[in-house]
């Protein structure tokens, strides 16, 4: 692979030892950041990219998404906006549509959503199963997910299928379903919530996953205060996701642990629910990530800039905190050190913004500001053309 010099960077956010560099240049070699400097004495490289004063940020790391599904829940969204509450039961609607869809339809839908995310600056996306809920459908969901990302998550314990005994279903998830899913999954996840899986069932699922070589993460405390966050911390989960309803003890447990709190404000936006208390988490020293929770029911967005703007406007995160959460925070939630920042040696996963500063991501909500996206130093997309 040839080396590339990126010149005329107006503002470079590295989230690395060099912090933020004005009037910067960068060399990418073998897909990695090889050099960062000022405007003078530029190294010789095979190719050059002049970004004409634009801002450069690390590519977004979207650490929570459900992209393998079929069907639409636009009508459910409209009903909700007309006053019906969100309960999580609509997941079963997507399960029926997903089971009925051929592999090719599921693959095409995931590819379309990933391309959409890339056009908005996302360079890494986690993908969960959880709309199959049979051994065969969970296995194929993860097989398809693994075609697109190494960050695949087995979420057989998303909801108990209709007409199924919950304890019997948990045994299936921990047994044959896990066995079929594990070869294609890096992570194991559970929806720990009233109406989904209780603490004991969630612990059983996560323990079984850990025994099969997967690493845990948890859908925790989304709809109510509950045991999810404490369970995530107890099992050393990389991330507790949602964290919308937390007690003081939950915040302290997160602060004393390595478990990242992944906030998904697209879900609160799309269900018209109160947002998580990001300030209390940040002020307590918890590592916070932002992700889209892209799914057809409760948050059908692939846009990290949109989530970042929500975090700033609705959750009182500063623009710098929100950008860090959407990049470095997401990487930590996936236990990755090679992405989410642009220090020398990191993957050259970066987004050129059609703006002089990353501040514009929240300052100009809803505006397509992504100019160019590189992953491993190669063009992923160039939406501005
Ligand atoms: Zn989710």
Q: From ligand 1's centre to the CA of 64, what distance in Å?
A: 6
Structure-block tokens of residue 59: 């590519």
Supply the pLDDT for residue 166.
96
Cα gap 59→66, rounded to integer Å: 19
Cα 54 to ligand 1 centroid, rounded to whole Å: 34
Which residue has 């925070």 as its token pair?
329
Question: What confidence score (pLDDT) does residue 92 get?
Answer: 85
The pLDDT, as a whole number, for residue 262 is 98
For Cα atoms 62, 55, 148, give the angle at the middle one, nearest 5 degrees: 25
- Domain spanning 60-333: CATH superfamily: Metal-dependent hydrolases (3.20.20.140)
Answer for the pair 264, 274: CB distance below 8 angstroms, yes or no. Answer: no
Q: Ligand 1 centre from 96 Cα, in Å?
A: 18
Count of residues in the chain: 385
Angle at 42 between CA 50 and CA 378, to 5 degrees: 45
Which residue ranges make up each domain of the chain? 4-59+341-381, 60-333
Residues of the chain with pLDDT under 70: 1, 86-89, 384-385
Per-residue confidence (pLDDT) for residue 384, from 0 to 100: 60
What spacing in Å lies between the alpha carbon of 155 and ligand 1's midpoint?
9
- Compute the distance from residue 202 Cα to the ligand 1 centre, in Å: 15
Span between the terminal Cα atoms of the chain, in Å: 24
Task: Quote the tokens at residue 348.
Answer: 């050259």
Q: Let me know: does 130 contact 95? Beta carbons within 8 Å.
A: no
- Ligand 1 geometric centre to CA of 374 (Å): 27
- Distance set, CA 205 to CA 77, 197, 200, 249 (Å): 30, 10, 9, 24
Residue-level pLDDT at 184:
98
Instruction: Among 2.30.40.10, 3.40.1360.10, 3.40.630.10, 3.30.70.1230, name the CATH number for the domain at 4-59+341-381.
Output: 2.30.40.10
Query: How many Cβ atoms from other residues are within 10 Å of residue 104's Cβ?
Result: 9
Q: How far is the CA of 63 from the centre of ligand 1 (A)?
A: 10
């Amino acid at each position: 692979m040839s080396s590339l010099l990126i010149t005329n960077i107006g503002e470079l956010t590295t989230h690395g030892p060099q912090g933020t560099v004005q009037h910067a240049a960068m060399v990418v070699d073998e897909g990695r950041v090889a050099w960062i400097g000022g405007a003078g004495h530029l190294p010789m490289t095979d190719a050059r990219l002049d970004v004409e004063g634009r801002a450069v940020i690390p590519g977004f790391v979207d650490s929570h998404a459900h992209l393998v599904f079929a069907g639409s829940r636009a009508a459910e969204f409209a009903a909700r906006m007309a006053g019906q509450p969100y309960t999580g039961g609509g997941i079963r609607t997507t399960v029926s549509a997903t089971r009925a869809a051929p592999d090719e339809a599921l693959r095409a839908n995931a590819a379309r959503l990933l391309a959409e995310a890339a056009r908005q600056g996302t360079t890494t996306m986690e993908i969960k199963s959880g709309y199959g809920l049979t051994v065969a459908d969970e296995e194929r969901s993860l097989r398809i997910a693994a075609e697109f990302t190494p960050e695949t998550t087995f979420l057989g314990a998303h909801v108990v299928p209709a007409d199924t005994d919950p304890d019997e279903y948990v045994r299936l998830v921990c047994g044959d379903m896990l066995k079929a899913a594990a070869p294609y999954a890096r992570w194991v996840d559970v929806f720990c919530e009233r109406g989904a899986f209780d603490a004991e069932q969630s612990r059983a699922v996560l323990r079984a996953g850990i025994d099969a070589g997967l690493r845990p993460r948890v859908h925790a405390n989304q709809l109510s205060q509950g045991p999810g966050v404490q369970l995530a911390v107890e099992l050393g989960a990389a991330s507790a996701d949602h964290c919308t309803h937390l007690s003081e003890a939950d915040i302290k447990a997160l602060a004393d642990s390595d478990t990242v709190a992944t906030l998904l404000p697209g879900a609160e936006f799309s269900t018209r629910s109160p947002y998580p208390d990001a300030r209390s988490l940040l002020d307590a020293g918890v590592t916070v990530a932002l992700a889209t929770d892209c799914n057809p029911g409760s948050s059908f967005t692939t846009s990290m800039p949109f989530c970042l703007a929500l975090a700033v406007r609705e959750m009182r995160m500063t623009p710098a905190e929100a950008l860090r959460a959407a990049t470095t925070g997401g990487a930590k939630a996936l236990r990755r050190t090679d992405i989410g920042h642009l220090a020398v040696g990191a993957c050259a996963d970066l987004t050129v913004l059609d703006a002089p500063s990353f501040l514009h991501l929240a300052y100009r909500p809803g505006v397509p500001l992504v100019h160019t996206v590189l992953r491993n130093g190669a063009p992923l997309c160039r939406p501005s053309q």
